[in-house]
């Protein structure tokens, strides 16, 4: 928090071991704990959502069915009919990242997607998978992806390295997008909360600006919820777009 006129915004991301001595022995941090909780929550929602099996679904079953249908239509609309095979991957990615982003909004919880290690791992997995899918479906013709059809052959020494570079830059852009969104959101929350404390300690004239800062913090929490959904959706739809490129080679 605030100390000696500087606001310490980044120490909230420091990882400590959770679960006492059991966690300390294997370095099980609060990030890992939140990931386990996210997995359990998703599985529980799906299991208890589909247990009633009613023709006219109740609220929980409607939630499970709508989430299935939404992700399936995203896959099929973006990738085409072959998209059905990738549905489990996209569903897992979307809901894991969504719950990672959302759970961090809760006080004293930790956003596991706010670490570049986690988002980087997910991104490396997606990019390597997309490349392997492309090579598995098309063989060595996959590398014709880097030479777009209709481009003059004379330009290829310039065009192909640029295409390869932009393909590799997906590794950075996909991971840093999610990571920076989450870090920036939480840093802003911390900074405005520190303003509230610092202004409140400044005497009675500080109360009005402190109240305004608190109101801004409330609006920021709402914005964080929006960004959580948006970033999960963007990660999933970009994975679908990359898979479309790999499956259809353009």
Partner 1 sequence: MEPAAFITAFKNLGAGAAVIALSGVGIGIGNIFAALVSSVARNPAARERVFGLAILGFALTEAVALYALLIAFLILFT
Please tell me whether residue 237 binds partner 1 under the rule CB under 8 A.
Answer: yes
Residue 211's alpha-carbon distances to 74, 200, 201, 218, 225, in angstroms, are 42, 9, 12, 11, 22
Please tell me whether residue 67 binds partner 1 under the rule CB under 8 A.
Answer: no
**Angle at CA of residue 217, ends 211 and 221, nearest 5°:** 150
Indicate left, alpha or beta for 108 from its phi (over 0: left) and psi (-120 to 50: alpha).
Answer: left
Estimate to the nearest angstrom the gap between the alpha carbon of 151 and the chain centroid.
Answer: 35
Q: How far is the CB of 71 from partner 1 (least distance, A)?
A: 14
71 or 183: whose CB is closer to partner 1?
Answer: 183
Site for partner 1 in 184-213 (CB under 8 A): 184, 187
Please tell me whether residue 233 binds partner 1 under the rule CB under 8 A.
Answer: yes
Considering only 138, 170, 177, 248, the residue that binds partner 1 (CB under 8 A) is: 177
Binding residues for partner 1, total number by CB under 8 A:
16
Site for partner 1 in 24-63 (CB under 8 A): none
The one segment of 107-115, 153-161, 211-219, 228-236 that binds partner 1 by CB under 8 A:
228-236
Residue 71's alpha-carbon distances to 65, 67, 112, in angstroms, are 10, 6, 22
Short-list 59, 131, 60, 67, CA closest to 96: 67
Residue 103's alpha-carbon distances to 3, 32, 36, 145, 231, in angstroms, are 28, 13, 12, 39, 14
Please tell me whether residue 231 binds partner 1 under the rule CB under 8 A.
Answer: yes
Please tell me whether residue 171 binds partner 1 under the rule CB under 8 A.
Answer: no
32 or 242: whose CB is closer to partner 1?
Answer: 242
Applying CB under 8 A, which residues contact partner 1? 9-10, 173, 176-177, 179-181, 183-184, 187, 230-231, 233-234, 237
């Amino acid at each position: 928090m605030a100390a000696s006129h500087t606001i310490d915004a980044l120490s909230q991301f420091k990882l400590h071991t959770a679960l006492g001595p059991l966690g300390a022995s294997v370095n099980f941090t609060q990030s890992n704990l939140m990931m386990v909780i996210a997995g359990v929550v998703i599985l529980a929602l799906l299991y208890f959502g589909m247990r009633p099996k009613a023709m006219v679904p109740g609220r929980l079953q409607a939630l499970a069915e709508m989430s299935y249908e939404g992700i399936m239509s995203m896959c099929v609309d973006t990738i085409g009919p072959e998209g059905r095979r990738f549905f489990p991957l996209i569903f897992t990615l979307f809901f894991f990242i969504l719950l990672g982003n959302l759970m961090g909004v809760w006080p004293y919880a930790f956003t596991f997607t706010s670490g570049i290690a986690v988002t980087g791992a997910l991104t490396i997995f997606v990019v390597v998978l997309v490349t392997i899918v492309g090579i598995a479906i098309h063989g060595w013709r996959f590398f014709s992806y880097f030479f777009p059809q209709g481009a003059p052959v004379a330009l290829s020494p310039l065009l192909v390295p640029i295409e390869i570079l932009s393909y590799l830059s997906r590794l950075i852009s996909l991971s840093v997008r999610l990571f920076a969104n989450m870090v920036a959101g939480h840093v802003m929350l911390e900074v405005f909360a520190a303003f509230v404390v610092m202004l409140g300690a400044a005497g009675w004239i500080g109360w009005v600006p402190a109240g305004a800062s608190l109101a801004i913090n409330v609006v920021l929490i709402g914005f964080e919820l929006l960004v959580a959904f948006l970033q999960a959706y963007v990660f999933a739809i970009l994975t679908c777009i990359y898979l479309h490129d790999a499956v259809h080679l353009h």
